[in-house]
Chain A
Amino acid sequence: MSEFDAIVVGAGPAGTSAASKMASSGLNVLLVERGDPPGSKSVSGGILWGRELSNLYPDWEKSAPLERFISNKVTGFLTEDSYVGIDFKTKKFEREKTGYSVLRTRLDGWMAKKAKEAGATVITGITVDGLAWEDKKVVGIRQADDTITSDVVVLAEGANPRVAIDEGLRAPISDKDVAIGIKQVVKLSEQTINERFNLRNGAGLAAEFSLGFLKNGVMAGGFLYTNKDTISAGVVIDIAGLRKDNKTYSFDIMDQFINHPYIAPYLENGQLQEYSAHLVCEGGINYVPKLYGNGYVIAGDSAGLSFSNGMVIQGMNYAIASGISAAKAAVKCKEKGHYGESDLAYYDELMQHSQAIEDMRKFKGITGVTWSPMIHEFLPKFAENVLHDMFYETGEPKKHLFEIAMENLIGSRYDKKKLLLESYRMMRKM
């Protein structure tokens, strides 16, 4: 007889969702979190896209600690001297919300509280050392000299899943599986943020840039997200490019981004509240491990569930959805009184038809585009030069856009065959 029906490792969006759903379905649940309070080890960009939380808490938009709803989405290129971007604002996102900026210590704290209210036992400040096994079945967790037993363990440890890796339940992490995320949260008044970004009534901005000013094949993206009275500014760095260069410091890329002539004014006179770093899952469908086994399931970032095609970035909503699916599988197992591998396969079945896995399957190989010199080197420069030449008055007779584009294409040092191939790939995959 196990002490708990289920033990959840990690009180992030995946773990708290699983714990809450299982507890409210009558399971005896233990949620173990190493941070104290929950959320004190968590970092994300972070925009919570989508409406997954409504599946757990219908009133979440009123009660969850959300910063601002996103009404303005920017995707652009930054070069040394220029900014080129798509700047999309719509009243439609005021009426029908598509995403909210969040700060994870607050969000995860709230979600852990909700799991507790649903009936889960939440213990914090406890680091799980590993899993307890019996006859090739996971029967609980190990912590110091202690074993706590359960019928199923939900591993929701985040992007650096020590237990899952050490227990051999997922492959170790390689360069292409993750990127280095670095963030600074900068304090400004709500009014200053509203004025600088032209925002009103709780509306917010989510802006992402490809950093075309980086050299020697180093690739990174930058982001600016407005919170209520802070701005989250950060970078996401490709590890393979950084390794190949082996001269650029990750934290210097962060500095270069916030000191860019078109980023710095947004952050001017802001006070640094927090500096943080976190791995960002980038490996796509190939990085997703087997999601279940005898007595365990893996959810959220631990399962590599995240997605970016350069325009859209998703992670927390997948985590919540996977936590809910893990809970559904556990509830079904409880009804059957059996938590074997074939029973927990139901989690996999749910996930294979989930938005997360469908997205990741559909966009398989997308990192070949999002982390390509096309996006991070050629396009930023090309866009800058074409627009410059179009708007710069020389007093000479004007040229067609096509002429300007062709001149810049021919003048570019970029390999033309590679360009053709990468353009094709981009149009197919993005």
Chain B
Amino acid sequence: MNIEEKLSVLNYKTDPTYEHITVNPSICEVCPDNFCTFACPASCYKMIDGKLNFKYEDCVECGTCFVACSHGSVKWTNPKGSQGIKYKLG
């Protein structure tokens, strides 16, 4: 099973109006390591055609990227209300 298939078993209540994590493209553009792409357990950070692509919809709210990014690009907040990941087992 690849990571996309694993994530597909999860329940999310996605907030279409609020991205709880944002990245600063001007910082990511010149990032020497793109460590977020290796660290994020949900593969929300991907390099596509040499550019960083971030997808908040798949986020499992662990906080890894907040620690992983040492360049100050990741701004981390909790999703609003009960939105975001919804675990059944934990």
A residues in contact (CB < 8 Å) with B = 34-36, 39-44, 46, 103-108, 124-127, 159-160, 162, 173-175, 177-178, 180-182, 184-185, 230, 239, 242-243, 245-251, 254, 272-279
The interface centre, meaning the residue of A175, A249, A277 with most chain B CB atoms within 10 A of its CB, is A277
Does B9 contact A279, Cβ atoms closer than 8 Å? no
**A35-B82, A127-B81, A162-B78 given; A279·B90 CB < 8 A:** no
Within B53-74, the residues touching A (CB, 8 Å) are: 60-64, 66-68, 70
Chain B, residue nearest A245 (CB): B38
List 10 additional A-B contacts (Cβ < 8 Å) besides A108-B90, A250-B41, A275-B10. A40-B87, A40-B88, A46-B90, A104-B90, A105-B87, A162-B78, A251-B3, A254-B41, A274-B88, A279-B63
- A270–B89 Cα distance when bound, in Å, is 16
Does B89 contact A273, Cβ atoms closer than 8 Å? yes
Does B63 contact A274, Cβ atoms closer than 8 Å? no
B residues in contact (CB < 8 Å) with A = 1, 3, 6-7, 9-10, 33, 35, 37-43, 60-64, 66-68, 70, 76-82, 84-90
Contact pick for A173, options B63, B77, B90, CB 8 Å: B63
Chain A, residue nearest B40 (CB): A250
**A173-B67, A250-B41, A279-B62 given; A162·B88 CB < 8 A:** no
Does A127 contact B39, Cβ atoms closer than 8 Å? no
- A127–B81 Cα distance when bound, in Å, is 5
Chain B, residue nearest A230 (CB): B89
Contact pick for B90, options A43, A125, A251, A254, CB 8 Å: A43
- A108–B90 Cα distance when bound, in Å, is 9
**A239-B39, A250-B39, A279-B62 given; A40·B80 CB < 8 A:** no
Does B77 contact A239, Cβ atoms closer than 8 Å? no
A111 → B minimal CB distance (Å): 12
Contact pick for B81, options A105, A126, A247, A276, CB 8 Å: A126
Chain B, residue nearest A180 (CB): B64
- A230–B89 Cα distance when bound, in Å, is 10
B82 → A minimal CB distance (Å): 3
